[in-house]
Amino acid sequence: MQGNQAMAEGAFYAGARFYAGYPITPSSEIAEECSRKMPQMGGVFMQMEDEIASMAAIIGASLAGAKSFTATSGPGFSLMQENLGLAVMGEVPCVVINVQRSGPSTGLATKPAQSDVMQLRWGRHGDQMVIALSPASVSECFSLTVTAFNFAEKFRVPVILAPDEVIGHLRENVRIPAPGELEVIDRKKPSGPPEKYKPFAADADGVAPLAAYGSDYIFHVSSSMHGPDGYSNNNPANAAWRVDQLHRKIERHREEIVLTKTFDTEDADILLIAFGATTRASRAAALELRKQGIRAGVLQLITLWPFADQEVAALGQRARTVIVTEMNYSGQVAGEVRKVLGAAADIRQVNKYNGQIITPQDILEVIR
Q: How many whole angstroms separate alpha carbon 115 and alpha carbon 335? A: 13
In terms of DSSP H, where are the helices of 156-200? 165-169
Per the DSSP assignment, residues forming a β-bridge with 270 are 296, 321
| C-alpha dihedral sign at 305, 306, 309, 312 | negative
Predicted pLDDT at 368: 75
Q: Which of 270, 265, 262 is nearest to 308 (CA)?
A: 262
pLDDT at 30: 98
Cβ atoms within 10 Å, residue 224: 9
How many CB atoms neighbour CB 338 within 10 A? 17
**In a structure prediction context, what are the per-residue pLDDT tens digits for the chain, which is 368 residues long?**
999 999 999 999 999 999 999 999 999 999 999 999 999 999 999 999 999 999 999 999 999 999 999 999 999 999 999 999 999 999 999 999 999 999 999 999 999 999 999 999 999 999 999 999 999 999 999 999 999 999 999 999 999 999 999 999 999 999 999 999 999 999 999 999 999 999 999 999 999 999 999 999 999 999 999 999 999 999 999 999 999 999 999 999 999 999 999 999 999 999 999 999 999 999 999 999 999 999 999 999 999 999 999 999 999 999 999 999 999 999 999 999 999 999 999 999 999 999 999 999 999 999 87
d(CA 193, CA 198): 10
**Residues in Cβ contact with 46 at an 8 Å cutoff, skipping those fewer than 6 apart:** 18, 19, 20, 21, 54, 57
pLDDT of residue 251: 97
345 phi/psi in degrees, rounded to 5 = -70, 145
Please check whether residue 198 is in contact with residue 228, taking contact to mean a CB–CB distance below 8 angstroms.
yes
Q: Distance (Å, rounded) from C-alpha 97 to C-alpha 149?
A: 11
Task: Look at residue 329 in the predicted model and tell me its pLDDT.
Answer: 98
E strands of 162-268, at which residues? 260-263
Q: What is the pLDDT of residue 363?
A: 98
DSSP 39: G
Tens digit of pLDDT for each residue in 246-293? 999 999 999 999 999 999 999 999 999 999 999 999 999 999 999 999
Task: Give the SS3 label for residue 3.
Answer: helix
Rg of the Cα atoms in the chain: 21
